[in-house]
């Protein structure tokens, strides 16, 4: 495990993001990271569209293909003033786009170090949501923005090996893989041991194309003796609501705050995450922290973490979610409980390593930010 820098307690850090706290994977990541790092720093402050900092936006438009997600353009002078008030040694850029570009520029003018978080394969998402002409233009624009930030950052923190590879391919001189932090609702509350049976399955995430929600709905139809619950918001909400109204074993829970997600995991026997595209899959890590197995697809970056394998039930290349759930149901309860206990212990070790890794980068005396 990396040593925590001795002078970390003097560090002042700002996080600039256009993601709402807890509203998507990136927003959740930095909400939990701030909670985990705060005891070790002088201050860590998030600047974004809904963080109560009074930042005025010049423009806010929905993303094509998903009106539940928005791209905002903040007032550059207000953003620069807010950063100057914080006087950070390090500015973490959590997302590209206007917030990221303007935040990085303001950080440089203050003489602060810039750390870029690599969380999303934007080009792949563009292919899912946008048409040929608009998709090509959108992907080129996003890649240009990413490259600009990646090449000028002092360090790049990638949430999986796949994201690190993408960052390196786009010219990041100092990209490293770091873990995904979790908040107190998943780590601190007493764990309710898994039953070892498969009677209730939970999906949590954006109700969007990349999450392969049709597989979850198909599994609910194919396994009428299993209770399925879906939590989240997104463009496929109408379809989920319609299926929930038609199927007696399917419930739609809406969007859940962090504490409610932890409680929902405790109330189910397994998490389903059959995503086509998932840079990491934080909710799968949350399931492991609550000693619940996570059924994950090959598209989930969390499968790169070998130490988490005991709690991950991989969907094989030849099978769908329904088949993978049936295979999980055939596992001996004692074996399943043992594997989920091992997985939680691995999550706790990874949490400590993640905090140490971030502190080594953002503490002012941590030295060069090489890989």
Tens-digit pLDDT profile for residues 51-78: 555 567 766 655 555 555 566 678 899 9
Tell me which residue range forms the domain holding 56. Answer: 8-181+350-362
Q: What is the pTM of this model?
A: 0.86
CATH number for 52: 3.40.50.2000
Length of the chain: 371
Q: What's the domain count of the chain? A: 2
**Is position 246 within any domain?**
yes
Question: Would you say 17 and 252 are in contact if contact means Cβ atoms under 8 Å apart?
Answer: no
β-strands 12-16, 43-47: how paired? parallel
Task: List the alpha helices (DSSP H) in the chain.
Answer: 25-37, 76-86, 97-110, 122-129, 132-152, 161-169, 184-187, 213-222, 237-246, 258-266, 282-289, 321-329, 333-362
**Is position 338 within any domain?**
yes
pLDDT tens, position by position, 94-139: 988 888 999 999 999 999 999 999 887 655 555 555 555 454 555 5
CA distance 311 to 23: 25
**Is position 367 within any domain?**
no
Identify the CA nearest to 295 among candidates 247, 228, 360, 359. Answer: 228
**Is position 371 within any domain?**
no
**Is position 369 within any domain?**
no
- What would the mean pLDDT of 305-334 be, rounded to a whole number? 96
**Is position 95 within any domain?**
yes
Q: What are phi and psi of 246, to 5 degrees?
A: -90, -25
Whether residue 190 is found in the same domain as residue 147: no
**Is position 103 within any domain?**
yes
Whether residue 165 is found in the same domain as residue 271: no
Whether residue 31 is found in the same domain as residue 116: yes
């Amino acid at each position: 495990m990396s040593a925590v820098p001795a002078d970390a307690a003097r560090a002042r850090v700002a996080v600039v993001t256009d993601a709402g706290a807890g509203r998507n994977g990136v927003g959740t990541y930095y909400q939990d990271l701030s909670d985990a790092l705060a005891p070790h720093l002088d201050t860590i402050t998030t600047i974004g569209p809904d963080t109560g900092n009074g930042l005025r936006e010049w423009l806010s438009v929905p993303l094509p293909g998903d009106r539940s997600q928005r791209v905002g353009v903040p007032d550059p002078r207000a953003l620069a003033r807010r950063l100057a008030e914080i006087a950070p040694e390090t500015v973490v850029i959590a997302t590209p786009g206007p917030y990221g570009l303007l935040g990085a520029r303001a950080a440089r003018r203050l003489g602060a170090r810039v750390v870029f978080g690599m969380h999303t394969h934007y080009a792949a998402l563009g292919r899912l949501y946008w048409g040929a002409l608009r998709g090509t233009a959108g992907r080129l624009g996003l890649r240009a923005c990413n490259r600009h930030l990646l090449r000028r950052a002092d360090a790049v923190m990638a949430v999986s090996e796949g994201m690190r590879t993408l960052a390196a391919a786009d010219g990041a001189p100092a990209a490293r893989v770091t873990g995904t932090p979790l908040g107190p609702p998943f780590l601190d509350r007493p764990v309710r041991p898994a039953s070892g049976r498969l009677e209730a399955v939970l999906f949590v995430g954006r109700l969007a194309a990349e999450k392969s929600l049709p597989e979850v709905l198909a599994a609910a139809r194919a396994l009428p003796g299993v209770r399925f619950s879906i939590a989240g918001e997104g463009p496929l909400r109408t379809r989920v609501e319609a299926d929930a109204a038609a199927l007696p074993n399917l419930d739609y829970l809406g969007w859940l705050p962090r504490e409610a997600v932890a409680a929902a995991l405790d109330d189910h026997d397994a998490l389903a995450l059959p995503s086509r595209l998932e840079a990491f899959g934080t909710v799968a890590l949350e399931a492991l922290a609550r000693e619940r197995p996570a059924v994950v697809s090959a598209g989930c970056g969390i499968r790169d973490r070998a130490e988490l394998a005991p709690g991950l039930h991989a969907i094989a290349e030849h099978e769908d979610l329904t088949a993978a759930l049936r295979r999980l149901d055939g596992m001996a309860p004692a074996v399943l409980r043992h594997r989920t206990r091992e997985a939680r212990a691995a999550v706790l070790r990874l949490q400590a390593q993640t905090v140490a890794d971030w502190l080594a980068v953002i503490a002012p005396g941590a030295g060069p930010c090489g890989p």
